[in-house]
Structure 1
Amino acid sequence: MKTIRTTLAAATAVAASLLITACAAPDEGSTGGGAPDASTSVKAQGLDAHAAGLLPAAIKQAGVVKVASGVSFPPMEYFDTDNKTVLGFDADLGKALGEVLGVKFDFQNTNFDGIIGGLTAHRYDLGLTSMIDKPERQTQVDFVDYLNSGVSFLVVKGNPDGLTQQSDLCGRKVAVEKASTGDLVADDISKDCQAAGKKPVDKSPLPDQASAIQALQSGRADAVLALDLTLAYNVKQNPDSFEVPAKPFGTLPVGIAVPKDSTGLRDAVAAALKVLQDNGTYSDLLAKWNLTDQALTGAPINSGK
């Protein structure tokens, strides 16, 4: 379980209030206009014998897949008002995948920077947590890719510092979730800054996305760098407080991370994902969470380049 220290309690409370009051669409091009209804049930799935047959014997026997997830990343994964129930696209997808495979996907809240280590140590069976499939991560885990996303940055409403492109982050205080894609991209931007004779990004790695948002809101950061999935969601939840002034920095695949030596589980998850795509459930979930523009065809393995 992720340890939320007492000093972060205020950040968590603020983030929770944002999540609960207006669950909104991250897809800025959506014409739906309304907030996704997290209470809408995912249609029940039948067991698929082929996909379930690929599962490792130990997981079949246990009946549970231990899922590592950083549960502060709406609309992908976040806590309901009881601070126990996990909601979001990934939670719905995990439930449906589990039914296809005949097992339960048990989400365990984990610091993002500890997920890959937890997978390689087999404390968890897989990571379902909006993790970008990148070649450097592929050396430790395999990815079953299931979405596309880009990276951008969030600023306070009105953009007082006039930040509109990557180079504007040079020398700026930028909050990121530790070990996340935003963290890695901040390092890449810093290299470009220094090559241009500018100061590097003054990066502030924090335990979770909620803490990064709170750092921006409290004035301790000039921007938050993260996947556009969650940043646009924050804007639509609280349009009077935040805005995303920059276009995404390219499109990257988002993958379900599986230990390198768990090829049976990897292939089972890929097969189950294809079942959900074929029967329309995947499209239904994308529509529910306003992620239709982030759809990915098939279930490619390690497609990140």
Structure 2
Amino acid sequence: MRGLMGKGNSVFWKATFVAVVALLLAAVAAASPSAPSKKPKGPTTAQLRAKLPANIRKSNTIRIATSIYAPVDYYKADGKTLTGFDADIMRAVAKKLRVKIRWAVIDFSAIIPGITSGQYDFATDLNDTKQREQVVDFITEFRDGSSILVKKGNPDQLRNLGDLCGKMVVMTQGSVQIPIANAQSDKCQQAGKSKIDQLLVPDDPPARLALKSGRATAYLVNTLAGSYAAKTENGGQDFQILAGVYQPQFAGIIFPKKSARLREAIRATLNAVIRDGTYRKIMVRYGVVNNAIKKSATNAATS
């Protein structure tokens, strides 16, 4: 009997020991830091390329139109090499898609006609508005707005839009600043003041020249471009930008209305560039990280 009891006790204690060890191992495993979970990867180059229209996959080339608005797009000192945060973002997009870019640097006023006529696959650096969305499709790329640029020292002591009554204001043809000036001009006349005189030019460089030469008292301009001009033109000695941003809005890339497939392929690739951190590095490098977006959207205008 004692032998049988001893054998039973031995079996019992062995089973108990195994159970305790198993519990201890489970507790250690639970307490141990788990391996960091990997973020799900974005789409592959092959998946992104598959979204492109067949003709672009065949040619391996995208035709992009833009205009000169530093720091968005501008030429390096050699006068030939296009640089700027938009140019770098588009190169990152092209690299992911394994395509080449054929740039066309044209007057701002010619961009929308060039897109609607099919001369270019898409164009960059336009503020997104409901009115423009009736003609072309947008995907968002960054944030911008409108501001007032004046000569260094602000000789006319301008403070805001209300001080532009009776002044000559230069703007680029077809820009979102024209409706802002028109609305303010109406307010000027309602208050018994003179309307705003407008000098319209094809692009940013002649607008800055008009301000510098005295043909215009102020330049109603995209905030990014105006801030950059104030900081860099002649070592920061030519212009200054007034406080205030009017009608903040998204800016981005435009496509013909019939190019939904290309539009969504570029949007997906831009979002991949945002996701992998390349986009943010570019925006930091150009000092415009506050104008960055978290995700590109289609036709996101609010006004």
Match of 2:52 among 55, 72, 80: 55
Alignment of 1:158 with 2:150, yes or no, is no
Equivalent position amino acid for 2:88 in 1: D
Larger radius of gyration: 2
Question: For the aligned residues, what is the CA RMSD?
Answer: 1.5
Instruction: Describe how 1:254-265 pairs up with structure 2 within 5 A.
Output: 254-265=251-262
Deviating above 4 A after TM superposition, structure 1's stretches of 4 or more consecutive aligned residues are none
In structure 2, the residue corresponding to 1:171 is in which secondary structure?
coil
Supply the distance in 2 between the matched residues of 1:249 and 1:148 (Cα, whole angstroms): 12
In the other structure, the counterpart of 1:252 is 249
Compare relative contact order (CA 8 Å, sep 6+) and give the higher one, 1 or 2. Answer: 1
Contact preservation (8 Å) 1:101, 1:268: no
**Alpha-carbon distance in 1 for matches of 2:275, 2:214:** 46
Could you tell me which residue of structure 2 aligns to residue 96 of structure 1?
Answer: 92
The offset of 1:303, in angstroms, is: 0.7
Partner of 1:205: 200
> SS where residue 250 of structure 1 aligns?
strand
Aligned to 1:150, the other structure's residue is in SS state strand
5+ residue gaps, structure 2: 1-42
Deviation at 1:109, TM superposition (A): 1.0
Q: Among 274, 281, 288, which residue is 1:291 paired with?
A: 288
Q: In 2, are the aligned partners of 1:154 and 1:225 still within 8 Å (CA)?
A: yes
Alignment identity in percent? 34
Amino acid at match of 1:175: V
Query: Which of residues 162, 168, 172 in structure 1 aligns to 2:163?
Result: 168
CA distance in 2, matches of 1:90, 1:184: 25
Amino acid at match of 1:102: R
Deviation of residue 185 (structure 1)? 2.6
Q: For 1:49 and 1:118, how far apart are their aligned partners in 2?
A: 30
Offset at residue 200 of structure 1 (A): 2.3
Q: Distance in 2 between matches of 1:59 and 1:262?
A: 12
Maintained 8 Å contact 1:47/1:101: no
State the Cα deviation string for residues 78-120 of structure 1 (Å, max 9, x = none).
1123322111111101111111122122220111111111111
Whether the 8 Å contact between 2:109 and 2:203 is mirrored in structure 1 is no
Q: CA deviation at 1:62?
A: 1.6
> Please, which of 100, 103, 108 is the counterpart of residue 107 of structure 1?
103
Secondary structure at 1:296 match in 2:
coil
Query: SS in structure 1 opposite 2:140?
Result: strand
Name the structure 2 match of 1:3: none
In structure 1, the partner of 2:11 is: none
Alignment of structure 1 residues 128-207 onto 2, 5 Å: 128=124, 130-207=125-202
Indicate conservation of the 8 Å contact 2:146/2:177, yes or no.
yes
| Alignment partners' CA distance in 2, 1:169 and 1:50 | 52
Following TM superposition, by how much is the alpha carbon of 1:47 offset from its aligned partner in structure 2, in angstroms? Answer: 6.1
Gaps of 5+ in 1: 1-45
Which of residues 240, 243, 251 is equivalent to 1:243?
240
Normalised to the residue count of structure 1, the TM-score between the two structures is: 0.81
Q: Secondary structure at the match of 2:253?
A: strand
Change in CA separation of 1:188 and 1:107 when aligned onto 2, cut-off 3 Å: farther
Any idea what the Cα deviations from partners look like across 1:179-222, whole Å, max 9, x if unmatched?
Answer: 12233432332233334333222111112101111111111110
Aligned to 1:10: none
Distance 1:196 1:84, change over 3 A: same
What CA distance in whole angstroms lies between the structure 2 residues aligned with 1:65 and 1:300?
20
Q: Is the 8 A contact 1:151 1:225 kept in 2?
A: yes
Separation of aligned partners in 1, 2:186 and 2:82:
37
Partner of 2:25: none
